Structure 1
């Protein structure tokens, strides 16, 4: 029998992450699993080189933003009796997602994927793909426009 006691939901606060959140919350409820929310704060210079010539906001601003978003990511009415822990770290998203999942002995990672075109994927890479390839536990990827596990009779 499959037992899922710990679920990791890495979030970058995007639409795909919102879709993945629905799955994470529902699966955590069904398996009575602990849900970890993780945001990896990337150095803005990595993805916005223009910051090299401008003063960066203080590190604490990024941390406060992450803390506030994580604390409010799941609505109170959706939380129910879920045990939820929020975490943020500075680093490289896929590396720190994998480190966190190993350290906490996570049973399942649920991650949203942007579903970029092949060209964009080749240029930018994919955090979700790297996590799928390197994770030591199962990974569920969720596309915002993909097939959903919602049955017509449950929508009423």
Structure 2
């Protein structure tokens, strides 16, 4: 039998991450697993070259934003009964997701995918794809507009 004790949900606070979070919460409930919610704070200069000529907000602003979003990412009513761990780190998303998964001995990573076009994928790469290829454990990818598992309506007697 498969034992899943720790599930990692890396989030960039996007719609695909929200869809993946719903799966991760349900899986954590089903398996009685600890749920790890991780945000990697990427250096804005990496993806916003315009900051080269402007001053960046202080590092603490990014950290406070991450902490606030992580604390509120899962609704309070959905947190009930979950063993939830939140963590943020400065770094490179795919590298730090893999490092966290290995260091915490994670059993499953649930990651959202953006479903970019082929051209955008070639230019930007895909954190989810890199995680899938290099992860130390199984990875479940979730698309926000993809097939959703929905409980069928029960007939009223």
What TM-score results when the alignment is normalised by the length of structure 1?
A: 0.97
Corresponding residue for residue 83 of structure 1 = 83
Q: CA deviation at 1:10?
A: 0.1
Please give the residue correspondences for 1:134-145 in structure 2 after superposition, counting only pairs within 5 Å. Answer: 134-145=134-145
> Aligned partners of 2:141, 2:54: CA distance in 1, in Å?
36
> Aligned partners of 1:83, 1:147: CA distance in 2, in Å?
27
> Aligned partners of 2:47, 2:69: CA distance in 1, in Å?
20
Please give the residue correspondences for 1:7-156 in structure 2 after superposition, counting only pairs within 5 Å. Answer: 7-153=7-153
Query: 1:39-86: CA deviations, max 9, x gaps?
Result: 000000000000000000000000000000000000110112101010
> Aligned partners of 1:59, 1:25: CA distance in 2, in Å?
30
- State the secondary structure of the residue aligned to 1:153: coil
> Aligned partners of 1:122, 1:151: CA distance in 2, in Å?
37
Q: CA deviation at 1:153?
A: 2.5
> Aligned partners of 2:112, 2:95: CA distance in 1, in Å?
16
> Aligned partners of 2:19, 2:27: CA distance in 1, in Å?
13
- Work out the number of aligned pairs and report it: 155
Structure 2 stretches lacking a partner, 5+ long: none
Q: CA deviation at 1:136?
A: 1.1
Runs of 4+ in structure 1 displaced over 4 angstroms?
A: none
